[in-house]
Structure 1
Amino acid sequence: MTDTDENLPPRLGSLTFHGPLSEARANRMIERLAAASPSIVLDIGCGWGELLLRVLEAAPGSTGVGIDINAEDLARGRLVAKERGLADRVEFVEESALGTTRGPVDAILCLGSSQALCDPDQPHDPAVALRELRRLVRPGGRVVLGEGFWQRTPSDEELAGMWPGANTGEHLLLGPLVDLAIEAGFRPAWIETASREEWEEFESGYRHDTEVWLAAHPDHPLAAETRERVDRQRSSWLNGYRNVLGIAYLTLVPVN
């Protein structure tokens, strides 16, 4: 079999957002951001920038910059921006967010990407990321942070079922996470968390296209390694972090 594009496992084609985020919740976030009339919107770890593009559509006077290190996702974002007539209002840039000089801006999106603001040689520290977000946002601006937290302290058995090296110190409970945001110089204007349904939509959508591909191409040269990877990901969710790991969406306002 020839390894043409159509014969290779697809990537994330069934996802609207790269995270457990419903259309309804996204729309409410966008309404709150657009109400603040942002001029410049920065999306850190933007992926293909779906939420960024929707903010620009809701705030007609705004422009946006999305930064990420995944060239494939950025190319998808540029294509979608062109299709929606937003190509002249948004820039997708392949670069690291570490120490970025792209602030201060009026609104920041950082959903599941706060690690991009931290030293990769050090354990992920949400306090460091929050201080960086405070540095990058203008007075009167808004930050929407999507950050993992433990819904409860995981058991040893649950940790063993997660990713390699998973430990309780990797995430905080929700209360201490919000406290860190306040210590960094924010007021938490809105606190919400992903629902079980949002998680199931994301986890199933994350693997959907690849699962269908595996069923249709069981003997493909890439099938064995793809099947092993997907089975490992699914097991990590079902036998590890399901109903234990949460995602908090915090809309933060900087204190003057």
Structure 2
Amino acid sequence: MTDAIDTTARTARTARTSDTGKDTAPPRFGAGLTFHGPLSETRATRIVSRLAAPAPGTVLDIGCGWGELMLRVLAETPGARGTGIDIDAGDLAHGRTLAAARGLADRVEYAEEPGHGTTRAAADTVLCVGSSQALLDPDQPHDVAAALRELRRLVRPGGRVLLAEGFWERVPTAAELARMWPGAASFDHCTLAGLVDLAVEAGFRTAWVETATRDEWEEFESGYRHAVEVWLATHPDHPLAAETRERVDRQRSAWLGYRGILGIAYLTLVPVG
């Protein structure tokens, strides 16, 4: 959801079984999660209700993953159409399956494409949930101010933007940064107040500011690894076990490094003018 969560980049593996278990590939990271981020059902329901209230006709989801929130907004606003863009084919396929199961397939498009420099038309509702990096040049440092300016460009007058973005609960020490993701630096994120200031400077009013709780974080972080951890325990000698174990251990160590230091804010933004 942030640079930190990017270190746990999503993967889609198809599970297969055999008598020996040697042909059983590891499950997809995050398998079983409803949301790809620290977000409870209670908070999601409130957010969706808030976004659906203006009756948007179009919804654009940047770095959508499987687009759970987008699908829920569409379900609450009959006739609205949605577009989700992401570069993860596995997540997009999962989203298409969810859309079909909910009778929304004819109202949503999942496109495998980058968000940086997107020429997609401005929408009534724009979602950017833990994916502001998708709007930026991948060869440049993360710049949430630039991402906010892009979101301002992509939302129609009178529309709404939901931005879920990381912030420091407190500025970490050098020792704490060393325990996080590779190359973690204090300038990777700002404080919550600083994040809100950047949104205002980009041309928004912050209609709602809320932050993920410790319980939401733990539900997400443990849920992200759960199926894979169980698989590793039962397939310790699998040909893919070493690679998978290294990735899981790296993700868990990073989370325990930023636990209680890195926060996630959910900002509901209204463009000015």
Distance 1:45 1:89 in 2: 18
> Residue by residue, what CA displacement relative to the aligned partner does 1:53-72 show, whole Å, maximum 9, x if unpaired?
11100111211000000000
Q: Are 1:244 and 2:255 an aligned pair?
A: no
Q: Are 1:127 and 2:145 an aligned pair?
A: yes
Distance 2:74 2:16 in 1: 32
In structure 2, the residue corresponding to 1:130 is in which secondary structure?
A: helix
Does the CA contact (< 8 Å) of 1:103 and 1:135 recur in 2?
Answer: no
Distance 1:227 1:185, change over 3 A: same
In structure 1, the residue corresponding to 2:269 is in which secondary structure?
A: strand
Does the CA contact (< 8 Å) of 2:15 and 2:27 recur in 1?
Answer: no
Does the CA contact (< 8 Å) of 2:172 and 2:186 recur in 1?
Answer: yes
Q: Percent identity?
A: 71
1:116-195 aligned within 5 A: 116-195=134-213
Question: 5+ residue gaps in structure 1?
Answer: none
The counterpart of 2:86, out of the listed 52, 65, 68, is 68
Q: Are 1:5 and 2:16 an aligned pair?
A: yes
Give the CA deviation at 1:224.
Answer: 1.2
Does the CA contact (< 8 Å) of 1:150 and 1:174 recur in 2?
Answer: yes
Q: Number of residues paired by the alignment?
A: 253
Does the CA contact (< 8 Å) of 1:41 and 1:105 recur in 2?
Answer: yes
In structure 1, the residue corresponding to 2:33 is in which secondary structure?
A: coil
Q: Are 1:255 and 2:266 an aligned pair?
A: no
Aligned partner letter, 2:236? P
Distance 1:73 1:18 in 2: 10
Task: Report the TM-score when normalising by structure 2.
Answer: 0.91
Question: 5+ residue gaps in structure 2?
Answer: 1-13, 18-23
Distance 1:59 1:177, change over 3 A: same
Measured on the aligned residues, the alpha-carbon RMSD in Å equals 1.0
Give the CA deviation at 1:237.
Answer: 1.1
Runs of at least 4 residues of structure 1 off by over 2 A? 3-6
In structure 2, the residue corresponding to 1:88 is in which secondary structure?
A: helix
Give the CA deviation at 1:4.
Answer: 6.2
1:16-165 aligned within 5 A: 16-165=34-183
Distance 1:152 1:62 in 2: 40
Aligned partner letter, 1:5? R
User: Which residue of 1 is the match for residue 5 of structure 2?
Assistant: none
Aligned partner letter, 2:267? L
Give the CA deviation at 1:14.
Answer: 2.0
Distance 2:119 2:56 in 1: 18
Distance 2:133 2:124 in 1: 21
Distance 1:174 1:252 in 2: 14
Does the CA contact (< 8 Å) of 1:145 and 1:251 recur in 2?
Answer: yes
